[in-house]
Amino acid sequence: MPLDDLRIDDRPTLRNPVMITAFRGWNDGGQAATVAAGYLARHWETTRFADIDPEAFVDFQAVRPTVSLDAGMTRHIEWPENAFFHGAIPGTARDAVILLGVEPNYRWRAFSELVVGLARDLGVELVVTLGALLADVPHTRPSPVTGAATDPRLVEELGLQLSRYEGPTGIVGVLHDACRTAELRSVSLWSAVPHYVSLAPSPKAAKALCVRLADLVGVPIETAELDEAEDEYEAQVTEAVASDPDTQAYVEELERRADTIESFTEGGEVTGDTIAAELTRFLRQKDRERRSEPSEDDTP
């Protein structure tokens, strides 16, 4: 692969680093994953040090660059990017590398090899991908999060689920496979976002990812800013839902379902199998929509 696809401005020296990745697009329901990663990059006062040239990986008709005015005068084009940031995790002897960007359209294997190659070069000990899916969950309950890995030893060590999902995947799945091939430990965290508010950024699901990440890697993460945004988000969605009786009745049914699941799960957490089932349903529905096939509801 061309060496200049990965553009490194300044190679940092890191302490026991963990790499956290999030990609806009298919893997990012309610923008929860990228909101979480962006929050961490800002909260940990990270510094950008590298990026991947989008020219070889992004379809600019699907993910278009944007034009802005600098000082109201000069036109400036901002290209879709996948950028790497590094910073110290406060209160620990550990550093973080955060990859924040957009799911590529082309050459996924080459893209993943670039990411894994940089991770190995920097001495990254664990790669954690953040994702979010649209699911039948209510906005008034905590966002369920599942953590999965393909390495049985890592599953046992970190209290995760074995990944048993089968079906279409995104760059997250390809990146995990590249980590496995390179014998680099990796974990996938997914939060569930209410599908009836899929276009609104979900600070609730973003906070849930941050909290699970903190437990996973044993680092403190301050979420006060996300707590405030979560309260505002829930109030606004509740007000919108209340304006439509059918939607309100549907949300109340989701609440009853969520409370039933909670009563049968330890600590009030939804199991990995539950989220995996929702992910499978969501992906199959999207696949049917792409192929213009009838859904189960349309089938006699």
Q: Are strands 126-135 and 186-194 parallel, antiparallel or unpaired?
A: parallel
Architecture, CATH, for domain 3-292: 3-Layer(aba) Sandwich (3.40)
Taking only the tens of pLDDT, the chain with its 300 residues reads 455 799 999 999 999 999 999 999 989 999 999 999 999 999 999 999 999 999 999 999 999 999 988 776 778 888 999 999 999 999 899 999 999 999 999 999 999 999 999 999 999 999 999 999 998 899 999 898 988 887 888 888 777 777 776 778 889 989 999 999 999 999 999 999 998 888 889 999 999 999 999 998 888 899 999 999 999 999 999 999 999 888 889 898 888 888 776 544 444 444 444 545 554 555 555 556 555 544 434 433
Q: Locate tokens 């599908």: which residue?
A: 195
Can you read off the two tokens belonging to residue 114? 């670039």
The CA distance from 214 to 112, in Å, is 25
**DSSP reduced 3-state for 139:** coil
- Contacts for 256 with CB less than 8 Å, ≥ 6 apart: none
Q: Locate tokens 């995104």: which residue?
A: 170
CB atoms inside a 10 Å sphere around CB 33: 32
CB 291 within 8 A of CB 283: no
Q: Calculate the CA dihedral of residues 88, 89, 93, 96 and round it to 10 degrees.
A: -70
Within a 13 Å sphere around the CA of 11, how many CA atoms are in the beta-carbon half? 8
Delimit the domains of the chain by residue range.
Answer: 3-292
